[in-house]
Structure 1
Amino acid sequence: MAVAFLLYVFAEIAAIWAVGSAVGVFGTLGLLLAGAILGSWLARREGAKAMRAFTSAARSGRPAEKELTDGMLVGLGGVLILVPGFVSDVLGLLLILPPSRAVARRLWLRRMEKRAVRFANQRRGPVMVVDSEVVPPSEERRREGTQPTVIEGRVIEG
Structure 2
Amino acid sequence: MPVFALLLLAVVAELAVIIAVGQAIGALTTILLLVAVSVLGVSLLRRQGMRTLTTLTDAARNRRDPSPAVTDGVLLAVAAALVVFPGFLSDIAALFLLFPPTRGLVRRRLLRRAATRRRGYAVVDGEVVDDDEVTNPEVIVIDSRRED
TM-score, length-scaled by structure 1: 0.71
Match of 2:26 in 1: 24
Paired-residue identity, %: 39
Q: Is residue 11 of structure 2 the alignment partner of residue 3 of structure 1? A: no
Q: Whole-Å Cα distance in 1 between the matches of residues 113 and 144 of structure 2?
A: 17
Match of 2:97 in 1: 95
Match of 1:60 in 2: 62
Extract unaligned runs of 5+ from structure 1. Answer: 129-158
| CA contact 1:117–1:127 (8 Å) conserved in 2 | no
Q: What is the letter of the counterpart of residue 23 of structure 1?
A: I
Q: Whole-Å Cα distance in 2 between the matches of residues 14 and 127 of structure 1?
A: 54
Count, aligned residues = 125
Q: What is the letter of the counterpart of residue 51 of structure 1?
A: L
Match among 33, 36, 46 for residue 34 of structure 1:
36
Match of 1:114 in 2: 116
- Specify the SS of the correspondent of 1:63: coil
Query: How do residues 72-83 of structure 1 correspond to structure 2 at under 5 angstroms?
Result: 72-83=74-85
| CA contact 1:81–1:92 (8 Å) conserved in 2 | yes
Q: Whole-Å Cα distance in 1 between the matches of residues 23 and 92 of structure 2?
A: 19
More strand by share: 1
Note the aligned Cα RMSD (angstroms): 2.2
Q: Whole-Å Cα distance in 2 between the matches of residues 48 and 37 of structure 1?
A: 17
Q: Whole-Å Cα distance in 2 between the matches of residues 24 and 127 of structure 1?
A: 64
Q: Whole-Å Cα distance in 1 between the matches of residues 119 and 28 of structure 2?
A: 51
Stretch of structure 1 that moved more, 2-11 or 89-98:
2-11
Q: Whole-Å Cα distance in 1 between the matches of residues 78 and 98 of structure 2?
A: 8
